[in-house]
Amino acid sequence: MKKQLPNILTYSRILVIPALVAAFFYIRGDLSDWICAALFLYASVTDFFDGYLARAWHAHSNLGKFLDPIADKLLVATALMLLVHSHRAAILPALAILCREILVSGLREFLADLRISVPVSTLAKYKTAAQMVAIFLLLLGNGAPDFLPAEQLGDWLLWGAALLTLVTGYAYLKTGLKYLAQN
């Protein structure tokens, strides 16, 4: 069971997505904001722990390697689409983030065929952290306590994450193009 926990956390992150959509559309007011933010926070925390536990317990699996990045991208894409739909997030940073995710996924798949691994950069980890906090704050929105300007902070962080997205996306693209030119 211990070795399966990282994959169970990944599955639970995927199951959060329909719950997030349901809470967003079918629950009204601050309660919806709190539930959506809590679901997203849970998913963000499990994203950290599934990888951490897989490494710590040597519980890596091919299924986990396959599902983990898909779960991350599905969760972020869903949350960003919900936020843009409700006019809580600007479309340009959301598009930048989504396009970069597709680009990097394609590059990783291409490079994997060449048996080339592209490790996640430190800057990409900062991008992910900024993106997750931004989405959490934007989902919390008006439900945030009065002392916390969640929407403004979330907006600034989302634009910051989009900027980091462009920088890290360019770095990955440059690496991929180098190998593409060789073949």
CATH topology of domain 2-182: Four Helix Bundle (Hemerythrin (Met), subunit A) (1.20.120)
pLDDT at residue 19, rounded to an integer:
98
pLDDT at residue 119, rounded to an integer:
81
Own/partner pairs, 47-53, CB within 8 angstroms, 24+ separation: 47/13, 47/71, 47/72, 47/75, 47/132, 49/6, 49/9, 50/5, 50/6, 50/7, 50/9, 50/10, 50/13, 51/6, 53/5, 53/6, 53/9
pLDDT at residue 183, rounded to an integer:
64
DSSP for 111-122, please give it: HHHTT---PPPH
**Which residues have a Cβ under 8 Å from the Cβ of 52 and sit 6 or more positions away?**
none
Give the sign of the dihedral formed by CA 33, CA 36, CA 39, CA 44. negative
Please, what are the averages of pLDDT over each run of 10 residues along the chain (183 residues)? 87 97 95 97 93 86 87 96 97 97 88 82 94 98 94 98 96 85 74
pLDDT at residue 167, rounded to an integer:
96
Q: What is the pTM of this model?
A: 0.93
For the chain, the structural domain boundaries read 2-182
Grouping H, G, I as helix, E, B as strand and the rest as coil, residue 145 is: coil
